[in-house]
A = this chain, B = another copy of it.
Amino acid sequence: MDFELFILGSSSATPSKGRYQSAQLLKVHTDFFMIDCGEAAQYQIGRYKLNHTKISHIFISHLHGDHFFGLVGLLSTMNLYGRKTPIHLFAPPGLDEIIQVQLKYSETVLQFPLHYTTLDKHVSEHILDHPLVDVYTIPLDHRIKCNGFLFKEKPKPLKIDKNKLPSDLSLLEIAQLKQGIDVVDENGNIKARVDEICLKALKSRSYAYCSDTKVNPSYLPLIKDVDLLYHETTFLDELSERANTTFHTTAKQAATVAKEANVGKLVIGHFSSRYYDVEPFLAEAGAIFEKTYLGVEGSSFAISKRVKDENND
């Protein structure tokens, strides 16, 4: 399946030239999962020729405006385009009220179901059991209640190498092999071995989104070994004190997190509008964690399938 991240906005609270507020789309097979929805996200979706009709789930990290001011506009546009299929919205308490009051005064009735899941726990929760991925919250450390999100591909049945498949296996026994379980006969002898008949397993891919937060060791176990980590870097290290008091992260700190968590790649964003040029973020983080990338508007990051490394998975 496709598993690819599209960045719609890289700015923090105030927009700056050419930079938009936080919003991302994670392509999961044919659907888009939206992560945060800053103002003008719907314009950015159009600009990059992505398609809002493919959005099925929306995850809002917290209720600072730069992470949700684009949501009601996007929902309105979906409605005007005649959407009928549901949207599943995951957000902290309050967003439902914010949406409803705006729909009420504009006398708008959404023509599609909006299923709302309130995220109010202070520990990680399994919030979505989707056929292709599981989604968990990552409780972060910000000024108001804030969650990151971990998207983890579900393990798939193993594939059989048909040339090696014994002809005397039943369908039930083949299904058992695909689940990774050796087939044993009634006398206890091994009849078919997974490692001889099945192709190597593919690694379950994963993406973790961490914005907004100061660095806190509490969330490191949740992002351990993810293929792709997005971590906010509002400031450069020169403003680490300001990062601390505003509950944000510096590029250096985010890179250190990526290294400690042994992630595959690090994408950084949520840059303060005081920085006109964001290349210094890449330099600062890249010096600590080489596989760092700028999550600027229009960039995308495909997470490729790869064979499971038995020593490290």
Instruction: Tell me if A42 and B39 are in contact (CB < 8 A).
Output: yes
The answer, yes or no, to whether A73 is at the interface (CB within 8 Å) is yes
- Identical copies in the complex: 2
User: Which of A12-20, A147-155, A213-221, A256-264 sits within the interface?
Assistant: A12-20
Instruction: Tell me if A65 and B69 are in contact (CB < 8 A).
Output: no
A76 to chain B: which residues have CB within 8 Å?
A: 13, 65-66, 69
Measured between alpha carbons, how far is A77 from B101 in the docked complex, in Å? Answer: 22
The answer, yes or no, to whether A291 is at the interface (CB within 8 Å) is no
Residue in chain B with minimal CB distance to A15: B43
Measured between alpha carbons, how far is A223 from B71 in the docked complex, in Å? Answer: 36
A39 to chain B: which residues have CB within 8 Å?
A: 39-40, 42-43, 69-70, 73
The answer, yes or no, to whether A46 is at the interface (CB within 8 Å) is yes
A63 to chain B: which residues have CB within 8 Å?
A: 105-106
Question: How far in angstroms is the closest Cβ of chain B from A42?
Answer: 7
A42 to chain B: which residues have CB within 8 Å?
A: 15, 39
**A interface, CB within 8 angstroms of B:** 13-17, 20, 39-40, 42-43, 46, 63-66, 69-70, 72-73, 76-77, 80-81, 92, 94-95, 97-98, 101-102, 104-108, 143-144
Pairs across A and B, CB under 8 Å, 26 listed = A13-B76, A14-B77, A14-B80, A39-B42, A39-B43, A39-B73, A40-B43, A63-B105, A63-B106, A64-B106, A65-B102, A65-B108, A66-B76, A69-B69, A69-B73, A69-B76, A69-B102, A92-B105, A94-B101, A94-B105, A97-B101, A98-B102, A98-B105, A101-B101, A106-B144, A107-B144
